[in-house]
């Protein structure tokens, strides 16, 4: 019997106008403390964003990529993830999913149980982001 892992995930959101609180799901973070697993994926679909937010020209796509690359580096614990990238996996997840009032935000973490974290990540990605 495969081992079951408790996990938490959060959706990464692009919030073009913070004051309007409108967003589009652009990524996913999933982590399991027991399995020592963390994964992050994002996709900036400019066509989809443009359909939803007609003032796309006001968005700095290069800056969005920069922020998301920093998220990815922190998630993976890379040296260019700064001091936060040196934290343990649960601390990095908590930092990445902390409440913020910026153009990139995350949902509150949601729990689940899985026997295959990669498969669960893919299923959540398809269901919640794509």
Long-range contacts (CB closer than 8 Å, 24 or more residues apart) made by 84-90? 89/31, 89/33, 89/36, 89/37, 89/38, 90/31, 90/33
Q: Is the entire prediction scored with pTM above 0.85?
A: yes
Predicted local distance difference test score (pLDDT) of residue 84: 92
Mean pLDDT of 109-123: 98
Amino acid 49: pLDDT: 79
Task: Report whether pLDDT(94) > 70.
Answer: yes
Task: Name residues whose C-beta falls within 8 Å of residue 103's C-beta, 6 or more positions apart in sequence.
Answer: 14, 15, 16, 18, 59, 63, 64, 67
Most confident by average pLDDT, 36-50, 51-65, 115-129: 115-129
- pLDDT, residue 126, reads 98
Q: Average pLDDT, whole number, for the chain? A: 92
Percent of the chain clearing pLDDT 90 (strictly above): 71
Provide the pLDDT confidence category of residue 57 given band limits of 50, 70 and 90: low
Please write the tens of the pLDDT for every residue from 39-55: 999 999 888 877 777 66
Mean local confidence (pLDDT), 104-114: 97
Question: Is pLDDT above 80 for 58?
Answer: no
Query: Looking at the DSSP assignment, which residues form a beta bridge with residue 11?
Result: 28
At 7-24, the pLDDT tens digits run 999 999 999 888 888 899
């Amino acid at each position: 019997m495969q081992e079951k892992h408790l996990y938490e995930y959060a959706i990464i959101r692009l919030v073009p106008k913070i004051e309007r609180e409108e967003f589009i799901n652009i990524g996913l973070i999933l982590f399991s403390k027991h399995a020592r697993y963390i994964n992050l994926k994002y996709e900036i679909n400019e066509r989809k964003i443009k359909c939803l937010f007609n003032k796309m020209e006001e968005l700095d796509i290069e800056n969005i990529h920069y922020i998301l690359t920093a998220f990815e580096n922190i998630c993976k614990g890379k040296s260019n993830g700064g001091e936060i990238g040196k934290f343990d996996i649960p601390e990095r997840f908590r930092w990445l999913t902390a409440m913020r009032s910026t153009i990139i935000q995350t949902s509150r973490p949601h729990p689940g149980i899985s026997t295959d974290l990669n498969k669960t990540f893919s299923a959540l990605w398809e269901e919640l982001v794509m």
